[in-house]
Structures are given as C-alpha cells and as structure tokens.
Chain A
C-alpha cells in the first residue's frame, strides 16, 4: 500500500466512524440537555449547591452564571499554578510567575489552551490534573451549554428563558464528557499513553543518562481532545510519544476532537425537530473542512516550499510514524475545531499547509468548530445568511421561525466583528512594538505570520501556535490573555443576548414566502457568507503572511 492510499483510507475510516456515531451520540446529547429527570447524584449536588434545578434563567441570568463561574475558575487556577510547590507531586518545581499563571488560567478557562510554558519542565502533576484538566472538562461543558441556550432561544415562545446553566453544566459534564473521556483514556492506555505519578531516570543504550518523564497523561489526553481543549501535558503536545504513541492513537485523537462538534449538529436538528436542518449545517461545515484539507494535503504530501524541496519531503517538525498524511489530517482537524493540540510543528508546515491552518481559525472556528462554540458560531453565520438573502428579496429575514429584526442583527453583527477586531488590533500593536522583533523565531514574512497566528489562535480560542515565537514577555502574556478573554466571553455574552432576544419573540408561521434553510442551496449560501466575511476581514494579513511566502518561494525571508 502506498502513502496516498493509506492517507485516503485513514480519512475514509474517520469519516465512516463519525457517520456511524453522528445520530446515536447526537441524540444522546439532545436527551441529556432536554430530559426532565434528574439523577439521584445530580439532585444531591443541586442541594449542595443551593440550586433549584427546575428554575429557568433569562439569557441575562444565564450569562451572569457563565461569567461568574468562569471568573471563579480563573481565580482558583491562578492560585493553583502560582502555589503549586505546596501541592503533592509538584516534582520540586516552583510556582509560575504571575503573568504566566494568569495567561495559562485564562487560556484553560476560555477553552483555548494556548501554552506559554513547557509542561514537563514547568508543572507538577497536581497542577496538571487538579488544575488544568478540570478546566478541560468545565470549559468544554460551558461551550456546549451556551450553544444549547441559543438553540432554546429559537425554540422558546415569548418565555424569554434559555434554560438553567447549572443543570446544563452538571449534565453535560457528567453524562457526556466524563463517560466518553473514560472510554477514550482506556483506549489510549492500550496504545501506551502513560498514567503514572513519577519521572524516571534511566541509563541510555549508549551509557548516558536520560530523564523519562511520567505523569497522569492518559486521562488528561482524553479530555484534551474530547473537549477540543488541546493543551499538551508535554511541550511537544501530541507529537510526544507518551501522549500519542501510535498511528492508531493518532486516529483516535482526531476522532475524539471532531466527535462533539460534529454530533452537536444532530443534537441541534433533533432539538428543533428538523434533522435535515442539522444535516444542512453539518454539510456546510464539512464542505469548508474538506476544501481546507485538500489544499493542505496537496502542499504537505508533495513537499511544497524551499525547505521541503531541499530535504526531499516536508518532514521538518513531523514524526516518522505519522508522516505527511497523519500530520496534515491532524493539523486540519485541530485548527478547524478550536482544539489546538498538535502532532507536528505548525511553524514548519509548508506555506500553504500553515496558511490553511491559519485560515481554519480565521473562519471563526466553525468548520465544525469547538465544542458548542462551533455550533453557535455557525448559527450566527446562518443568521447573517438569512439577513443577506432577505435583503436580496426585500423580506424581513426569518430563521427557524423567528424574525431577524434590528436587535438580533445587532448582536450578530457585533459577534462577527469582535474576534477579527481583537486579532487585527492585537497584531497591529504587537508589530508596532520594537521588542516583538526579538520575540520572533523566524525572519521576514514568516515572522509576521507567527504574530498573526498567535493573535488569531488566541482570539478564536484555538491554542495552537507557530511555536517559534517567544511569548513569555509580560506584553505577550497579557495581550494574548486579553485576546482569549474577549474572544471567548465577548462572543458568549453576545450570543446569549441573541438567544434572549429570540426567546422573547413569538414564533412566526412558515409561509410560502419563507426562505427554506434546510436545502443544499442554503448550505452553499452559508459557506459563501462564511468565506466572504473571513475574506473581507483577513485577506490583507494573509497576503502579507503565508500567501507572500508561498508565492515568492521564501525569497522574502
């Protein structure tokens, strides 16, 4: 079997597994968020928390809960990271400096998992598992909660309520994320991912000495993928043999990071009573994903770029066992889902391959996007799409039985503007600072791409990096933390405002004049609108970065 057959077969098997899981897992999630019965353990927990599980929250109250919960999460995580030397299994490591701790706490609570530290040389095991991994679960659950709240906004009839955040959070964590993470972790154990509580020092074959790091990796790895978090236990992330030891674990990780975002389209369809609508959204996501994968796979497997041509193949920053196909499928999946885990150096990808990774994030993480954030991001784009279509025919636009009036389009316009604004302002400020030049790992246009990638990744809550850039200065720690916070919670507040505004409306009946939103035509229009919004916003920065690098064959380096 040649490499191309192997690569295409791997993609086909991944697609087949997702197709098989789509309906049962999507419907499971729908039952979890719509069910009226509480498990005994959950009832006990609600009593302990002082929460009435039958109470319904307005969108404003729901948003307050999200923000308050996340603020407490950041505070606890900063405390754990700065004081880790007092915790068990600290491996003798000191606490993090304040700016790195703040950046890291924001990073994990916003589901970004941007890492300005190297795991194996910076963190003890308790900080990793009781600090970071807990937020891997909770930040992912928050994303799903917000998406579900938006769907409820479409369903509500003048109630103005969008659900109960605490009930959603407990159920999504306990009934969706935890059970699947356990299964995933056990499968990863069979492939050799470690779950230990000690480092070892060994004598190498040549008689030298080498520290072999340990840690509770398998558990953290499973939720890192499932929750589209992406923060590696080790610096090399999923390129490390202890995080991702075999080609099978590589495929499993890609499956796990796509699972929830892909199946949430089914959850959405089931909740609104139109599975075809869910399929239409999934189709638009899949079209964007496939196009990006095709470009990147061409560039990587044919070894585009001067360095790859000099070496004979694009193998710089790639593991032998994954090769070009296993690396590019991973990089496309991780940047399309706001995961940000990596099994190859994105900085060393070919110009078009790295550019595709960048564009996946610039799309706003909607192909299929992060857990929850992908669905609400795509629904926001669907509102823009019906608005554009409504302008063309001169009708008040409607989506899923709700009128898209002035308040709705205001929230949507702000949502589509906030992330690009953070990215472009952030890049502008960083490039204007003389100190940024010394922080770059590469010169010329590729160095510029490192800065664009950093702010795009942070604001879109992806977390992967063109890792050559050094981001440990207080400027970058705070600037990127701000980008992550505003990108995440700015969007969430606006999306919940939209949900509230929809929930206060009475549904309008479907008439012959209503634009059908479950057709291939609408799906295509949706793809077009996503590309248009992204293109108009980011084309100049892309032209100065990866496009220039690809077209000049590195002559501008």
Chain B
C-alpha cells in the first residue's frame, strides 16, 4: 500500500512539473514563436501566394482551370478522395473529356489529364501548358483578340521548373485571366 501511495505521489508530482512546463511552453512556443514569425513576415520578401478561383468549363470568356472537388471554396479545401478504380471517378473523367472536347472543338483524345482530374487542394490555380494551348483559339475568338496576343499572354503567365529542375511547367490561370480582363 505504501508503495502504491509513493507511486501516486510521484505521478502527481511529475504531472505538476509537467503542467508548469506546459504553461511556459504555451507562452513561448504558442504565442512568442508565431509572433516572431509574423514579425519576420513583415520584413522578409515573399512570393505572392493565392488560391485558385472557379473558371468553369461552361463559361466561354475565360481560360478554364482544373476541376475542383469543392468548386474553389476557400473555406473547404480538399480533394475528391475517389479511389484509383472508382466507377464514379471514371464517369467524371468521361463527362469532363466530352465537355472540354465540345467547348474547345477538339478531338476528345487530345484533352490533357489535368483537365480531367480534380486537384488535391481544390484550389489549384495552375494548369498544364498543353491545356492552356488547347484553349487559346476559343478565348481569342470569344474576346475578339488576336491569337498572337492571347498566346503572348499565356507565355507571360507560364512558369518553367523552379531553379531549372523543380516541379512542373505550368500556367497560372488566375493571373492569366486577370491579365485577359485588362487586355480587352
């Protein structure tokens, strides 16, 4: 019995030490640390990050983005989580292929994979250069711009691999559409 009492007191004493340490940690790591990083953020130059917006395939005026599992809702990021053999996903891929092929007036076989699949974040503002190229003629015609002018805008919003080797070549649809709005 005395052994048990000893164990309990010891555990209680350790918990009391732990509680005090936890409070100190909460102040230093939970408030001090994020405040320091916030202050650093005021002086450190950073890339401008933004989340994707909805440019649906039904809307002819814009370069279309990738399908989003949540319609680009900024408060509900996330993927479809449909599995690699999901019949629902197969249906979606075929529907998207048909819709894009029709809107762009191209062969269904030429629609690239990023136009047929939803991103992981649901907020992907990038598309592949192939998908952008597929849309140039339609956008130029719809907006009354020359194909050369639209191609120039696409090039201006295309990024290669970061540092020459990291990541995928991509077109920023959000920035491109913003620039398109200014070009009219």
A311 adjacent to B93 (CB under 8 Å): yes
Which stretch from A348-356, A427-435, A487-495, A523-531 is at the chain B interface? A348-356
A61-B10, A446-B85 known; A129 vs B168 contact (CB < 8 Å): no
Q: Which of A170, A210, A554 contacts B72 (CB 8 A)?
A: A210
A320-B128, A549-B84 known; A6 vs B10 contact (CB < 8 Å): no
B75 adjacent to A186 (CB under 8 Å): no
Query: 1/0 contact trace for A300-321 toward B, CB 8 Å?
Result: 0001111110111111111111
Q: Which of A190, A222, A317, A327 contacts B80 (CB 8 A)?
A: A317
Across the interface, which residues of A come within 8 angstroms of B77, CB to CB? 118, 120, 234-236, 239-240
A345 adjacent to B80 (CB under 8 Å): yes
Residue of B nearest to A119 (CB): B77
Q: Is A387 on the interface with B (CB-CB < 8 A)? A: no
Q: Is A65 on the interface with B (CB-CB < 8 A)? A: yes
How many chain B residues touch A (Cβ–Cβ < 8 Å)?
A: 88
A129-B34, A134-B29, A241-B125 known; A205 vs B165 contact (CB < 8 Å): no
Query: 1/0 contact trace for B52-81 toward A, CB 8 Å?
Result: 111100010010001000001111111111
Q: Is A181 on the interface with B (CB-CB < 8 A)? A: yes
A320 adjacent to B127 (CB under 8 Å): yes
Q: Is B145 on the interface with A (CB-CB < 8 A)? A: no
Residue of A nearest to B79 (CB): A345
| Those of A311-353 within 8 Å (CB) of chain B | 311-323, 326-327, 342-345, 347-351, 353
B30 adjacent to A314 (CB under 8 Å): no
Q: Is B99 on the interface with A (CB-CB < 8 A)? A: no
| Those of B83-125 within 8 Å (CB) of chain A | 83-87, 89-90, 93-94, 112-114, 116-125
A173 adjacent to B25 (CB under 8 Å): yes
Report the minimal beta-carbon distance from A42 to chain B, rounded to whole angstroms. Answer: 11
A305 adjacent to B84 (CB under 8 Å): yes
Residue of B nearest to A303 (CB): B113
Task: Report whether over half of chain A's contact residues are helix, strand or loop; otherwise say mixed.
Answer: helix
Which stretch from B12-20, B136-144, B146-154 is at the chain A interface? B12-20
Report the minimal beta-carbon distance from B63 to chain A, rounded to whole angstroms. Answer: 10
CA–CA, A218 to B47, complex, Å? 13
Q: Is B184 on the interface with A (CB-CB < 8 A)? A: no
Residue of B26, B49, B127 with highest tally of chain A CB at under 10 A: B49
CA–CA, A208 to B74, complex, Å? 12
A61-B10, A195-B37, A235-B77 known; A342 vs B178 contact (CB < 8 Å): no
Across the interface, which residues of B come within 8 angstroms of A392, CB to CB? none
A446 adjacent to B83 (CB under 8 Å): yes
A131 adjacent to B33 (CB under 8 Å): no
Q: Which of B21, B55, B116, B124 contacts A320 (CB 8 A)?
A: B124
Q: Which of A72, A211, A218, A449 contacts B75 (CB 8 A)?
A: A211
A10 adjacent to B166 (CB under 8 Å): yes
CA–CA, A130 to B72, complex, Å? 29
Across the interface, which residues of B come within 8 angstroms of A350, CB to CB? 84
Report the minimal beta-carbon distance from A395 to chain B, rounded to whole angstroms. Answer: 38
Residue of B nearest to A352 (CB): B84
B47 adjacent to A191 (CB under 8 Å): yes
CA–CA, A192 to B11, complex, Å? 45
A321 adjacent to B30 (CB under 8 Å): no
CA–CA, A148 to B19, complex, Å? 23
CA–CA, A322 to B62, complex, Å? 24
A6-B166, A68-B15 known; A310 vs B75 contact (CB < 8 Å): no
A173 adjacent to B50 (CB under 8 Å): no
Q: Is A425 on the interface with B (CB-CB < 8 A)? A: no
Which stretch from A18-26, A154-162, A246-254, A412-420 is at the chain B interface? A246-254
A310 adjacent to B14 (CB under 8 Å): no
| Those of B153-184 within 8 Å (CB) of chain A | 161-168, 170, 174, 177-178, 181
Q: Is B40 on the interface with A (CB-CB < 8 A)? A: yes
CA–CA, A237 to B19, complex, Å? 30
Across the interface, which residues of B come within 8 angstroms of A554, CB to CB? 84-86
Residue of B15, B36, B52 with highest tally of chain A CB at under 10 A: B15
CA–CA, A1 to B44, complex, Å? 31
B31 adjacent to A130 (CB under 8 Å): yes
Q: Is A110 on the interface with B (CB-CB < 8 A)? A: no
Across the interface, which residues of A come within 8 angstroms of B79, CB to CB? 236, 239, 316-317, 344-345, 347-348, 467
CA–CA, A448 to B30, complex, Å? 39
B161 adjacent to A1 (CB under 8 Å): yes
B170 adjacent to A320 (CB under 8 Å): yes
Across the interface, which residues of A come within 8 angstroms of B174, CB to CB? 205
**Interface set of A (CB-CB < 8 Å, partner B):** 1, 3, 5-6, 9-10, 13, 45, 48-51, 61, 64-65, 67-69, 71-73, 76, 118, 120-121, 129-131, 133-134, 137-138, 166, 169-170, 173, 178, 181-182, 185-186, 189-197, 204-206, 208, 210-213, 216, 218-220, 222, 234-236, 239-242, 245-248, 250-251, 303-308, 310-323, 326-327, 342-345, 347-351, 353-354, 441-444, 446, 449, 466-468, 549, 553-554, 557
In order of increasing CB-CB distance, the 5 nearest A-B pairs are A554-B85, A247-B167, A192-B49, A130-B30, A239-B120
Chosen A-B contacts, 28 in total, with CB atoms closer than 8 Å, are: A1-B161, A6-B167, A10-B165, A50-B17, A50-B20, A129-B30, A181-B33, A186-B40, A206-B55, A206-B59, A210-B74, A211-B73, A219-B34, A219-B37, A239-B119, A248-B163, A310-B93, A312-B112, A317-B79, A319-B121, A322-B168, A343-B120, A345-B81, A348-B82, A446-B86, A468-B82, A549-B84, A553-B85
**Interface set of B (CB-CB < 8 Å, partner A):** 7, 10-11, 14-15, 17-22, 24-26, 29-31, 33-34, 36-38, 40-41, 44-55, 59, 62, 66, 72-87, 89-90, 93-94, 112-114, 116-128, 161-168, 170, 174, 177-178, 181
